[in-house]
Structure 1
């Protein structure tokens, strides 16, 4: 099944669907210990008795009046310590989803709420009084059940039977009863951890004597199963490799790992929602499958957007909406606030939801989305009921929040969503806002923010996560629509904000300077977000099929193609500098320059702004790390311009190209910026009042790691390959010019005959070693792993075989040039440490260029 479950949070986590394997059959013992052999006659008698006893019995003999019954999607019964499902005949053949999450995780294995498995299942009558559980695949489908090719698809895609159950009772023309105790207690793949997770944590056989069903409850459209499951764990050493294994602490001390696993079994809608085909120019999560049609001459990949179902209450309402009037949907999108949420943050979370109302009004809906407090007094409500979408509040030290959804893989219809909100996300917000906003906003200049400020931060994150649950992906290209100087324009910010999309990672306006008088540094639901909701949720009344809808939707997209505020830039593009996380503006060099000015204002004040009497310097150290982390981000933003390639998805009826190199002037500016802000030692980071309080060293090696990280990124084979490709174009920034700019910047002391300080010596050695390594041990020609998933456009760009490309030739040429420059500079160098350094580098280069040389040629010392 090709589908994507959005699990994007503040840190950008994404979960993909796992592949199901055949499951252990119910009742299969987990132990491999052999039992003593029984006499043949006794065995035959026991076999006959077992066959007789396993047949269906009268309903009342299986489900007595004393059974604890829960009615809903599936009727469930508990009799003593056994659990039974009663499956109505109307649901046999009906598809449902089983979403398995780790409800409570052991130390080291993530956190509660993480997706473990997701499958579409179907009950099916089998022979010999059996009920089968089949895994339904939506990887390949036939376009029409009446077409001959439909049967061909079925013949080539046999759905696995994951489990078989004996019928314990049959209620004629009503339902059948099966026992599910062993099915959930033992290891059945469709309702347990995926194989990769078990391999990663080295979990082996399930310990059924230490596993038990905690509870099973049914609700109108879902049945919830909570199991405490224990796995034996391998004591073998951790395995390295592409998917390294790790031993959990519990496995080290107990040889076993216990976790709570919750499986939600949700009925898929009886009447599927009308699909809306995915468009790569609008950022929605997507689902899809391969379609076979008698009328086609090839297979077609059908990809559609993930959305809630919004429909008019009546035909009269539909007519009103057609005339441009706002109407209320038959079923609005409602998010409830977890009653475990501290009272002081509830309004902010609700505001984050309600802020989306304006977007839905643009799409023709009134009161389409809202947030409500949970009614503790209503005993009919349950947080596990799939009819209720909830913002769940977790008492956790994890600094994150996430917004997943459960959707129908046939159509993309969102069925329910539980936003995960971790208490410690507020610490993350505090750090972000201090490092990006404290130069402008005095409220950020303290170790603990006032509740009013924190509530604003909570509201912004709430809106972002709600956006994900509405189907919206990250739009990392949105902030590029704002010219950098407009980020300092108070009137512009008031009207448009600093980014057109709250779905971008454009946290706060770090470009605004103190003298600009801008106090609104927060992102908000903007032009792009409103447009995306309109594209996804505005009904198309004049058409009858998704194919006809696609033509209308394409016109909507084209009507905004000349306005950058409506542009979507994917979150996974490795080449396009317009699509970046945590950046601002249309020019990273200008924006980062302003950002660094603000960092220089903040850094000297950190001792005062983090001060707390009777506390140590942990918060100062933490914020110093945030300052340096922000500086690294700026370097990363700028580096992406070098060898950059713009990607602008288009359709045949749009003018222009899809791919084009980043303008040469911007790539040149990027290298000039890096030479000035990074490779010229950023000594301002080594504040003499702070360093002795947070580090035992003086930052010499710390600066080297900052510089070397960017150096490694600049000389990434993919980037060098793109520079080679760009060299074939006129007025492009090619490989030779790139090497010239880097080498002349890092070795500027040579022609100037200047002494070379410790920081620059380290940088120069790192540069020389980088080139030497590329020459003597070139990286293998391995293309980066690609990202897959419906709707995710991924093109890693060119990735050449280094030994068969100009990379080797140019690297050798610049090592030879550096060799000559050092030889020329050495006689005039009077600083002793500088001479030691140059002689050392020269020896290294000589050996790399001529490994047979026994005595390196070094100028006589004076």
Structure 2
């Protein structure tokens, strides 16, 4: 831990002065003084507080008491004895001139100094400590309005001189007394901070004071995040950090701190580019060497009676708190999972429909733009429909924070929705803090970036350029949610296409309604997270494709089985009927998940009733799968093609085919329209890349069909369904054909030369880029699909496929050899046809050859040996075809050079000795 407030420093008395004091105390009787007499300078020196050392080490022992002072304690008619050297000053003396805020942990404040009064009843008693980030840097993940860490914490008094703030280790418990001591000894608590006790105990309350300066340190560990963002060591500057405001109630104490991080200098960039990319210094601050971060510390009282925990069931998706119960060795898995949920109790327990004793209240932050507040409120209150199904009326309430409010809704007693901005931001997040003992949600703060205000609202008119994210789509896992960012990109594509069709006009009521609907959709998703629900990336598959074109059906039921999915936009093809564009209401899964977590159940009936609720998982409308099932994160490529982010309908492959058609339509229309007077400089460039973004996601997810497995989450023995079922061979071949004929086909990416030449940059910006690199954009889409087909996971599943298929069906299964042959044939199709090989195709072939070479020379520890053997066999066949094709004198010089170079590289790779790991 960093050092605490200045004033905690101790200058030890010299030896001579200490001896002199002792002699004086022994030889001279204590003088008689009035109670109001001022202490002498020497008495002031003796009353200095003992400092708390860095890291929470035990402070030096106070000096020995003077013998005469001890003797004088019983002399009648004399003043109380002089305090021991180094002993804390009297309570009232320390807070003289300070103002008090009484409550859970009382605060005393004088000028810029703050003391916490630690009541004796708070010692060694758990409370929730949370640190939220109210203000930050504004770039590279360092944004305002974000929830930080929380701990089950306590104050621990060490002797008479030190107070420690301890994070309790609640991850390991013992449900039996026999193992309790062993568990407590086996797992350490953690020290979050400590301070010297600044006062003697209060005469009546017996509480003591500590200087709050230990909060002007980096308790949440934010410096690590800063270093991760900029790869520079910013240090916390205690001298320029300060307290802003404090708030105390019977339930909570809140301290807002403004903490300064700085570095003495910004390193000069290297003379030559580093092989390892390094991020540039901050660009959003006036001086890259300095930044302030706002921390909101909340000391929150936990309920006197802990909420009864509710066990999770993996057939549904809830966030949970987890503890390892080492009280018995009879359970194979000692981990216990409790659903994260708010405490919701009926005011009238016997009534079929009752208001709760305490509703779940969401505060709309005052910085939400007024034009969006109704849509945000609607997104929150939509969840009341699910609670009404289980007997709660008005379970959720929305309130608006007044503009003149003096409290910060980033504290731990106000669930809030906040609007924040950043230089490169585009996401929403819905985290929460919970009592780790029971899973009871104590606080939640939804952060909504201004992706709608700047990058989405009136998209058609403003056309604000965004990052060119091609290839892999952004993914979310664990607690992170980038739904708003991806949703805004989807809306961008939809509005571009609708404007190109003439179906919607800039600044029209239709465009405004469209944006408001997207905000409601996003808020419903994030509120679901704060109610304890995880993502459901299988929810979109429960709606049949023909239903998506039914306007009445989609407006009433939405376009997906769950708002917790990342739902794509329901855009009709030309000539089709148009249903609702996005989700309008909760889906059947959302009602089911709320029922499991919040339905009032008598304790004696809970296990049986929860099992009954969860057993409905076989209902097709309640399909569920989470982030891990979807894959797309390092080490997990996902195996079920029905579990995806941003697909739509019961046949995702058909949806991806439609997306290619929609991208082609958008490109055709924008080329026909051409640049118009008054257009934003980068409008056409942005529209072009918007179509590529759609295809990048599609090409990745189509590949999941090849070697894919359908999965279900049934518990053992509850159904007869197989946990894994191979994707139908016909569907796998259909996916391969789509990639070969659509993604790998250069004809899918043809643009008029006049259009390419018209894609101007914005000359007002320094970082404006040059001409749009169409071949690079195309290749980024194609290599995503290629890498999926050549991945170790795909190879392993295809080789294992016969183990999952009865003998009668084995002749029809798709093999790894067939996949490799189809891929190579599609990439190098000109070798058989003798056609000219244009630049787009040459780029694709080079990327394929690069991967083949690498496997031939270096092998792969992850790729099965049979796959390497098949790869070599395919390479020998490719070598033969290249030899034949390279003699074709009708080809252009570029094509002949490309073929000869490819043949040479492949021959070298086949001759080389493999470097085996």
TM-score by length of 2: 0.79
Mapped partners of 1:734, 1:175: distance in 2: 78
TM-superposed deviation, 1:843:
1.4
Mapped partners of 1:301, 1:255: distance in 2: 45
Mapped partners of 1:612, 1:206: distance in 2: 52
- Contact 1:482/1:586 (<8 A) preserved: yes
User: What is the correspondence of 1:172-321 to structure 2 with a 5 Å cutoff?
Assistant: 174-185=205-216, 187=217, 190-193=219-222, 195=224, 197-198=226-227, 201-203=231-233, 205-233=235-263, 247-248=281-282, 255-294=289-328, 296=330, 300-313=334-347, 317-320=348-351
For residues 39-70 of structure 1, the C-alpha deviation after alignment (integer angstroms, 9 at most, x for no partner) is: 54247779966443653444322223x42222
TM-superposed deviation, 1:285:
1.1
Q: Residue 586 of structure 1: SS of its match in structure 2? A: coil
TM-superposed deviation, 1:742:
0.6
- Counterpart selection for 1:432 from 484, 487, 490: 490
In structure 1, what is the equivalent of residue 52 of structure 2? none
- Counterpart selection for 1:55 from 84, 87, 90: 87
- Counterpart selection for 1:333 from 360, 377, 390: 360
- Contact 2:155/2:166 (<8 A) preserved: yes
Q: Residue 215 of structure 1: SS of its match in structure 2? A: strand
TM-superposed deviation, 1:177:
2.7
In structure 2, what is the equivalent of residue 103 of structure 1? 134
Mapped partners of 2:415, 2:451: distance in 1: 22
Indicate how the Cα distance of structure 1 residues 599 and 701 shifts in structure 2: closer, same or farther if over 3 A, else same: closer
TM-superposed deviation, 1:242:
11
Indicate how the Cα distance of structure 1 residues 612 and 526 shifts in structure 2: closer, same or farther if over 3 A, else same: farther
- Counterpart selection for 2:582 from 511, 516, 522: 522
In structure 1, what is the equivalent of residue 104 of structure 2? 73
Q: Residue 181 of structure 2: SS of its match in structure 1? A: helix
Q: Please, which moves more after superposition, 48-57 or 817-826?
A: 48-57
Q: Residue 149 of structure 2: SS of its match in structure 1? A: strand
User: What is the correspondence of 1:477-492 to structure 2 with a 5 Å cutoff?
Assistant: 477-490=538-551, 492=553
Mapped partners of 2:787, 2:8: distance in 1: 50
Mapped partners of 2:392, 2:409: distance in 1: 27
User: What is the correspondence of 1:647-662 to structure 2 with a 5 Å cutoff?
Assistant: 647-652=711-716, 653-662=718-727
Q: Residue 239 of structure 2: SS of its match in structure 1? A: helix
Pair 1:691-2:749 in alignment: no
TM-score by length of 1: 0.84
Q: Residue 98 of structure 1: SS of its match in structure 2? A: strand
Pair 1:93-2:127 in alignment: no
TM-superposed deviation, 1:199:
6.2
Mapped partners of 1:582, 1:123: distance in 2: 47
Indicate how the Cα distance of structure 1 residues 299 and 400 shifts in structure 2: closer, same or farther if over 3 A, else same: closer
For residues 81-125 of structure 1, the C-alpha deviation after alignment (integer angstroms, 9 at most, x for no partner) is: 321111233322322222223322235452112344332210123
In structure 2, what is the equivalent of residue 509 of structure 1? 570
User: What is the correspondence of 1:308-387 to structure 2 with a 5 Å cutoff?
Assistant: 308-313=342-347, 317-320=348-351, 325-376=352-403, 383-384=409-410, 386-387=412-413
- Contact 1:103/1:260 (<8 A) preserved: yes
TM-superposed deviation, 1:537:
1.0
TM-superposed deviation, 1:829:
5.9
Pair 1:724-2:799 in alignment: yes
- Contact 2:146/2:447 (<8 A) preserved: no
Indicate how the Cα distance of structure 1 residues 446 and 572 shifts in structure 2: closer, same or farther if over 3 A, else same: farther
Indicate how the Cα distance of structure 1 residues 608 and 536 shifts in structure 2: closer, same or farther if over 3 A, else same: farther
Q: What is the aligned-residue RMSD (CA, Å)?
A: 3.3
Mapped partners of 2:709, 2:164: distance in 1: 52
- Counterpart selection for 2:741 from 673, 676, 680: 676
Mapped partners of 1:243, 1:161: distance in 2: 36
For residues 761-786 of structure 1, the C-alpha deviation after alignment (integer angstroms, 9 at most, x for no partner) is: 2222221222111111234x3xxxxx
Indicate how the Cα distance of structure 1 residues 823 and 382 shifts in structure 2: closer, same or farther if over 3 A, else same: closer
For residues 220-255 of structure 1, the C-alpha deviation after alignment (integer angstroms, 9 at most, x for no partner) is: 422222222223437568999999887445999564
TM-superposed deviation, 1:160:
3.3
Pair 1:555-2:555 in alignment: no
Q: Please, which moves more after superposition, 202-211 or 276-285?
A: 202-211
- Contact 1:643/1:667 (<8 A) preserved: yes
Mapped partners of 1:250, 1:349: distance in 2: 28
TM-superposed deviation, 1:570:
0.7
In structure 1, what is the equivalent of residue 521 of structure 2? 460
Mapped partners of 2:392, 2:259: distance in 1: 45
Q: Please, which moves more after superposition, 93-102 or 723-732?
A: 723-732
For residues 268-326 of structure 1, the C-alpha deviation after alignment (integer angstroms, 9 at most, x for no partner) is: 2221111111122111111101012248465610011111110122xxx2122xxxx11
What runs of 5+ residues in structure 1 fail to find an aligned partner? 1-22, 782-799, 853-862
- Contact 2:699/2:784 (<8 A) preserved: no
Indicate how the Cα distance of structure 1 residues 416 and 607 shifts in structure 2: closer, same or farther if over 3 A, else same: farther
Mapped partners of 1:438, 1:362: distance in 2: 39
In structure 2, what is the equivalent of residue 624 of structure 1? 688
In structure 2, what is the equivalent of residue 418 of structure 1? 445
In structure 2, what is the equivalent of residue 126 of structure 1? 158
Mapped partners of 1:245, 1:173: distance in 2: 57
Mapped partners of 1:465, 1:609: distance in 2: 38
Q: Please, which moves more after superposition, 39-48 or 762-771?
A: 39-48
Indicate how the Cα distance of structure 1 residues 43 and 720 shifts in structure 2: closer, same or farther if over 3 A, else same: farther
Q: Residue 417 of structure 1: SS of its match in structure 2? A: strand
Q: Residue 561 of structure 1: SS of its match in structure 2? A: helix
Mapped partners of 2:262, 2:138: distance in 1: 16
Pair 1:665-2:697 in alignment: no
- Contact 1:311/1:330 (<8 A) preserved: yes
Pair 1:751-2:809 in alignment: no
TM-superposed deviation, 1:849:
0.9
Mapped partners of 2:47, 2:364: distance in 1: 54
What runs of 5+ residues in structure 2 fail to find an aligned partner? 22-41, 49-61, 63-83, 460-488, 632-637, 761-770
Pair 1:117-2:149 in alignment: yes
Mapped partners of 1:342, 1:670: distance in 2: 45
- Contact 1:94/1:122 (<8 A) preserved: yes
Indicate how the Cα distance of structure 1 residues 84 and 744 shifts in structure 2: closer, same or farther if over 3 A, else same: same
Q: Residue 844 of structure 1: SS of its match in structure 2? A: helix
Mapped partners of 2:796, 2:8: distance in 1: 53
- Contact 1:632/1:706 (<8 A) preserved: yes
Q: Residue 494 of structure 2: SS of its match in structure 1? A: helix
Q: Residue 211 of structure 1: SS of its match in structure 2? A: strand
Q: For the pair shown, which has the larger CA radius of gyration, 1 or 2?
A: 2
For residues 603-656 of structure 1, the C-alpha deviation after alignment (integer angstroms, 9 at most, x for no partner) is: 333479897754432233222221110121111221122222333222122322
Indicate how the Cα distance of structure 1 residues 650 and 519 shifts in structure 2: closer, same or farther if over 3 A, else same: closer
TM-superposed deviation, 1:740:
1.2
Q: Residue 90 of structure 1: SS of its match in structure 2? A: helix
Indicate how the Cα distance of structure 1 residues 28 and 647 shifts in structure 2: closer, same or farther if over 3 A, else same: farther
TM-superposed deviation, 1:591:
1.0
Indicate how the Cα distance of structure 1 residues 259 and 339 shifts in structure 2: closer, same or farther if over 3 A, else same: closer
In structure 1, what is the equivalent of residue 554 of structure 2? 493
Pair 1:713-2:797 in alignment: no
- Contact 2:315/2:617 (<8 A) preserved: no
In structure 2, what is the equivalent of residue 7 of structure 1? none
Pair 1:150-2:180 in alignment: yes
